[in-house]
Structure 1
Amino acid sequence: MNKNTLLIVDDILDNVKVLRKFLINENFKVLIADTGEEGLKVAEQAEPDLILLDVLMPPGIDGFEVCQRLKSQQNTKDIPIIFMTALADTINKVKGFELGGADYITKPFQHEEVLARINAHITLRKQQQQLQKQNKELDAFAHMVAHDLKNPLSAIVTITDVFLQKHPINSTIDFKGIKHIQLAKKAGQQAVDIIYALLTLCGVSRQSHVNFQSLEMSKIIDQVIKQQLTSMIEEYQGQIDLPDTWPIAQGYAPWVKEIWVNYLSNGLKYGGKPPILTLGSNLQNDGMIRFWVRDNGMGLTSKSIAQLFTPFIRLHKGRAEGHGLGLSIVQQIVEKLGGQVGVESEIDQGSLFYFTLPAYIAISRHLESKL
């Protein structure tokens, strides 16, 4: 059985000798560092299962800075940290938790308490790692199944569509038979839409790094309307009013197209009769741009607003077909791009759906400050 590895970071080695011996006897592998800088190096190289970190380590960096730097690095951010301190005041405890510390032990140490806390946090971390592994496996399986279902379902939709073009509803073929084939085509298309939504959601959650680019929002929206929403606009006799200019935001264009597709298609389905959608944007004081879609629909209750971005929740079940994934996809995309989503609505006053993205100027200034 592999031993769990602990790293003790304390500048007074006499304080940790007895603790180290006790932990070794409890079947741990114990590493020691006597400065914050050395603790950072050992943690990065050894990636221990848990770190016992002293708060005060003059004259170098203190335990709070060590914790902050560990939590900012990919390979050490999930290692649980237990602060060791003679300080009993609440301020230091709160600061440690705010920086990502998992727990506190106070000097002089009670060995049984230290052991209990160490075992509890190591067990919790291993459970989290197992859950993450299972989630990845489930995500990979879902992606594989969705991808494998996409092609045969698309073929069904295509075949039924070709048949209906050759045999319109006023042809000599049985009227009920034609209607059944139309229903089959509609059901097939709904299944394909769900699969594409699942694949999009899976792709967003899998992608850990996003290459930001400046966005030509007018071009993106024009593509969405012409390439994906033309038939829907005709079906619902909708109207989309656009501003003359857009501010330049930063993001990932394919994902931003998905945001607009979902917001605009929802506005066409659930807006007024006919739906009138007004698009716009505002530059906020925090360096973000707020993009929005206002509809002329019946509005939403506060209870409905609270459920909006939950996967598989459909609020207008009687008005239009849907699968309830669209807004949850929007939320994941926007959060991955560093923004927020939301809605403002009142009954009989329509709804305003919005999302925020970082402005080009804000990111440029941030990059300049790094140089």
Structure 2
Amino acid sequence: MTESDLPKADILVIDDTPENLNLLSTMLIDRGYKVRSVTKGSTGIRGAQVMPPDLILLDVNMPQMNGYEVCEQLKADDRTRDIPIIFISALEAVNDKVKAFQAGGVDYITKPFQIEEVLARIETHLTLRRLQNQLQSKNEQLQQEIRDRQHAEEKFATIFRQSPNPIAIVTIPEGQFIEVNSSFLSISGYSLDEVIGCTIAQLHLGRDIDAFMRRLQTRTAFHNLEFELLTRSQTRKNILLSVDHIDLNGTSYALLIANDITERKRLENEFISLVSHELRTPLTSMMGSLDLLGSGQLGNLTEQGQQVLNIGIKNAERLIRLINDILDLERIRSGKITMNLRSCNLADLMTQATEEMQSMANGSNIQLITEPLSLFLTVDPDRIVQTLTNLLSNAIKFSQPNNQVWMQARSTISSICISVCDQGRGIPAHQIQTIFERFQQVDASDARQKGGTGLGLAICRNIVEQHGGRIWVESIVNQGSTFHVELPLSDETI
């Protein structure tokens, strides 16, 4: 049966006069309605209870039980209460009509009736019934959504209060605290009254606050950002910070979740420092021995021996780079390396980085294109060149022969942005947020095949953030990546 074959509605007709029943039934069936006809009020009540119709046409004058009594019983039953009932009667007195409406009827048609009038009133009340049902359904759906929301809010509130992780909710872009949990108060050392209403900057919660606030104002979520928290007692804590966005009463806020890694960081730094220094001495001696063997002063090697020696030298050099990068990164992160800031021409820094990487580009058959921008800014030139050469090195390593790598810069009123663009394999979307973390590489085999340590981008990020700037990447898999370095311009420069 198709939708067009279905009856328009199910109508129950209750009338003790067979002629009226036949007339109404024929009329309604011809107009596409399903009709059930009964001559007794009690039979009509039972039929409506067993299979509730969409509408009831009810006569007033019937033996044993009149129409008013039938209507009252139907309205008293939850199964039939909402069915619209239209009275059809020869009684024309106002009192009779009032009594019908008081019993629960929705309309009153006097006999003899006009067929078109009956049809019009039936359609009207069926439409009203459908609209009421739709409204009721929407209300029930809305009530369920409200209950679900309340349940989610209660669950969130419970997790928020009881979480062992410090959690805070702040406004965007001001970074003003509107709610924090007890774990946040415990790690920061502040009281609730001291925190609520203040901004992150006003509480001086860390030395990287400016960089963090710029990142917060981008309104992008990020996870596991290492951050040095400064407590009320000026104690420094290392935390991993994640930021997501939540909607409260139609307003977007930032949800900050921290994980205290202070002890883990201390042990990690001690281990890295110990291992790095303990490895450097024997590696230096090993490199000296390998160089001595390669010089031929201890005798000539066979061709196979020379190949083995070259492999040893290559891997020793890779280990030394790894150790140097680890120590370099830790010194920068701990503030043991002071940035020697001075006024520099950006064009000179870009040219120097390009010249240092030109040999590598030539060896990989990569065209290196640089568009120097002559503009003075206050930076540590050696560290900025280190950053640019690192970005160029990555772009060259992950480009195919005959590809191009570009480096260009543009300025705004308050900042300078340097971009390094390649046509390489790109970075998957799920790795965009973590690519600047330590030992993070797109492919685990890169360390072996490309000779990388997985620390270069982490070093770049720390250098850039030490300058009060930020670094990020835009990438499309199999099309290439563009790394952006934004550095602030000093008032003197501006």
Output the TM-score relative to the length of structure 1.
0.58
Which structure carries more relative contact order (alpha carbon 8 Å, separation 6+)?
1
Q: Which residue of 2 aligns with 1:159?
A: 289
Q: Which residue of 1 aligns with 2:454?
A: 324
Correspondent of 1:79 among 232, 253, 274: 232
Q: Which residue of 1 aligns with 2:385?
A: 257
How much has 1:258 moved relative to structure 2? 2.1
How much has 1:65 moved relative to structure 2? 6.9
Q: Which residue of 2 aligns with 1:247?
A: 375
Question: Is the alpha carbon distance of 1:162 and 1:294 closer, same or farther for their aligned partners in structure 2, counting shifts above 3 Å?
Answer: farther
How much has 1:220 moved relative to structure 2? 3.0
Structure 1 stretch displaced more, 194-203 or 276-285 = 276-285
Cα distance between partner residues in 1 of 2:341 and 2:364: 35
Cα distance between partner residues in 1 of 2:189 and 2:432: 41
**Is the CA contact (8 Å cut-off) linking 1:279 and 1:294 kept in structure 2?**
yes
1:145 aligns with 2:275: yes
One-letter identity of the residue aligned with 1:336:
Q
Question: Is the alpha carbon distance of 1:166 and 1:296 closer, same or farther for their aligned partners in structure 2, counting shifts above 3 Å?
Answer: farther
1:300 aligns with 2:427: yes
Q: Which residue of 2 aligns with 1:196?
A: 324
Larger Rg: 2
How much has 1:201 moved relative to structure 2? 0.6
How much has 1:342 moved relative to structure 2? 1.4
One-letter identity of the residue aligned with 2:315:
A
**Is the CA contact (8 Å cut-off) linking 2:342 and 2:380 kept in structure 1?**
yes
Higher helix content, 1 or 2: 1
Question: Is the alpha carbon distance of 1:71 and 1:289 closer, same or farther for their aligned partners in structure 2, counting shifts above 3 Å?
Answer: same
How much has 1:219 moved relative to structure 2? 3.0
Question: Is the alpha carbon distance of 1:298 and 1:190 closer, same or farther for their aligned partners in structure 2, counting shifts above 3 Å?
Answer: same
Q: Which residue of 2 aligns with 1:216?
A: 345
Cα distance between partner residues in 2 of 1:303 and 1:66: 31
How much has 1:262 moved relative to structure 2? 1.3
**Is the CA contact (8 Å cut-off) linking 2:419 and 2:483 kept in structure 1?**
yes
Partner SS for 2:417: strand
One-letter identity of the residue aligned with 1:201:
L
1:291 aligns with 2:415: no
**Is the CA contact (8 Å cut-off) linking 2:342 and 2:378 kept in structure 1?**
yes
Structure 1 stretch displaced more, 177-186 or 309-318 = 309-318
Cα distance between partner residues in 2 of 1:279 and 1:68: 34
One-letter identity of the residue aligned with 1:253:
P
Cα distance between partner residues in 2 of 1:172 and 1:52: 74
How much has 1:156 moved relative to structure 2? 2.4
1:182 aligns with 2:335: no
Question: Is the alpha carbon distance of 1:54 and 1:280 closer, same or farther for their aligned partners in structure 2, counting shifts above 3 Å?
Answer: closer
Cα distance between partner residues in 2 of 1:267 and 1:274: 13
1:203-238 CA distance string (max 9 Å, x none): 111117745433333333444455x54552343133
How much has 1:179 moved relative to structure 2? 1.3
Correspondent of 2:441 among 297, 310, 314: 314
1:28-80 CA distance string (max 9 Å, x none): xxxxxxxxxxxxxxxxxxxxx9555768xxxxxx9957997554798x95129
One-letter identity of the residue aligned with 1:298:
R
How much has 1:294 moved relative to structure 2? 1.2
Partner SS for 1:330: helix
Correspondent of 1:337 among 467, 473, 476: 467
Cα distance between partner residues in 2 of 1:282 and 1:296: 20
**Is the CA contact (8 Å cut-off) linking 2:373 and 2:410 kept in structure 1?**
no
Cα distance between partner residues in 1 of 2:391 and 2:427: 15
Cα distance between partner residues in 2 of 1:155 and 1:162: 11
- 1:94-105 equivalences under 5 Å are none
Cα distance between partner residues in 2 of 1:276 and 1:283: 23
Cα distance between partner residues in 1 of 2:481 and 2:206: 41
**Is the CA contact (8 Å cut-off) linking 1:277 and 1:294 kept in structure 2?**
yes
Cα distance between partner residues in 2 of 1:197 and 1:224: 18
Cα distance between partner residues in 1 of 2:401 and 2:442: 18
Cα distance between partner residues in 2 of 1:73 and 1:172: 59
How much has 1:188 moved relative to structure 2? 0.2
Q: Which residue of 2 aligns with 1:108?
A: none
One-letter identity of the residue aligned with 2:342:
Q
Higher strand content, 1 or 2: 2
Question: Is the alpha carbon distance of 1:276 and 1:166 closer, same or farther for their aligned partners in structure 2, counting shifts above 3 Å?
Answer: farther
1:246-297 CA distance string (max 9 Å, x none): 3333322232122112101111111121342211111135x12110111122
One-letter identity of the residue aligned with 1:247:
L
**Is the CA contact (8 Å cut-off) linking 1:213 and 1:250 kept in structure 2?**
yes
Cα distance between partner residues in 1 of 2:265 and 2:432: 28
Q: Which residue of 2 aligns with 1:268?
A: 396
One-letter identity of the residue aligned with 2:469:
G
Q: Which residue of 1 aligns with 2:334?
A: 206
Output the TM-score relative to the length of structure 2.
0.45
**Is the CA contact (8 Å cut-off) linking 1:299 and 1:345 kept in structure 2?**
yes
- 1:47-126 equivalences under 5 Å are 50=189, 52=191, 71=204, 78-79=231-232
Unpaired runs of at least 5, structure 1: 1-48, 56-61, 81-90, 101-123, 366-371
Question: Is the alpha carbon distance of 1:261 and 1:154 closer, same or farther for their aligned partners in structure 2, counting shifts above 3 Å?
Answer: farther
Q: Which residue of 1 aligns with 2:86?
A: none
Correspondent of 1:357 among 459, 464, 487: 487
Q: Which residue of 1 aligns with 2:363?
A: 235
How much has 1:153 moved relative to structure 2? 1.5
Cα distance between partner residues in 1 of 2:493 and 2:450: 43
Unpaired runs of at least 5, structure 2: 1-187, 208-228, 234-247
Cα distance between partner residues in 2 of 1:190 and 1:290: 32
Cα distance between partner residues in 2 of 1:66 and 1:267: 39
